[in-house]
Amino acid sequence: MTGPGTTRRRFLLGLGALSGAAALAACTNTAPPGTPAPAGTPPPPPSTTTTAPAPVYEGDAALMAVAAALSGLAGDLLGQAGTGAGQGRYGSVPGVVTAFLSGAAAQHTAHAEAWNRLLTNAGRPPIDGYPLTVEPALRGRLVAAVAPVDLLGLAADVTASVTATITAIAGSATGTSTVALAAGVAPVSAMHGATADFLLGRPPTAPTDPTAGALGPDALTV
């Protein structure tokens, strides 16, 4: 004989079984990871990640950028040359040569910082590194150097390039601050070139064209 309590328990058990079956059915209807989407399902939206465009330098800003990159490169090359000379990497290097390389490097580095400040003041990003087409060749000369004469030859050529470039900037820039900085930097770089030539035993000469070999904005790789 079945009493009311037994009937009620069977009813509740039946409801529990139905709920479990429904839950199981819901789980089995969910596609496992990696399962292709059903036909007609729209594709996911494309990624919105973007790469910031490279800075564009125009007008006086392009001239400042060239000056900053070249002055920075000169400072880096001469600094490494001076450090290597002090470590005996190039044989017996006279102290005057080491002092010249280190001192000139510090001034060129300071010039690069000054050019970058002008860029920042003009609302343009400063130059990071030495993005110039001439960098690989000049750096290769430092790597190949084996004697003090190699270091001085590199210093003479690098400072000649800086002097010609800054002199050209002084004559073509339109901004007062650009011209003023160029007018202050060019004589210092020319002094470095004259010192390197003197240490190499070359007679002093005045360039026929003071802007020969100057780098323009097309030498930038940014």
Using one digit for the tens of pLDDT, what is the confidence trace for 74-102? 999 999 999 999 999 999 999 999 999 99
The CATH number linked to 157 is 1.20.1260.10
Whole-model pTM: value is 0.76
N-terminal to C-terminal alpha carbon distance within the chain: 95
Does residue 23 fall inside a structural domain?
A: no
Question: What is the per-residue pLDDT for 206?
Answer: 83
pLDDT band for 34, please (50, 70, 90 cuts). Answer: low
Whole-number average pLDDT of the chain:
85
Give me the number of domains the chain comprises.
1
Per the domain annotation, does 49 fall within a domain?
no
Exposure of 55 by Cβ count < 10 A (0-12 exposed, 13-18 middle, 19+ buried)? middle
DSSP helix/strand/coil, 18: helix
Residue 9 lies in a domain: no
Examine the pLDDT at 2 and tell me if it is beyond 60. Answer: no
User: What residue numbers bound the domain in which 137 lies?
Assistant: 60-219
Alpha-carbon gap, residue 137 to 140, rounded angstroms: 5
pLDDT of residue 52: 53
Interatomic CA distance for residues 163 and 187, integer angstroms = 7
On whether residue 1 sits in a domain, the answer given is: no
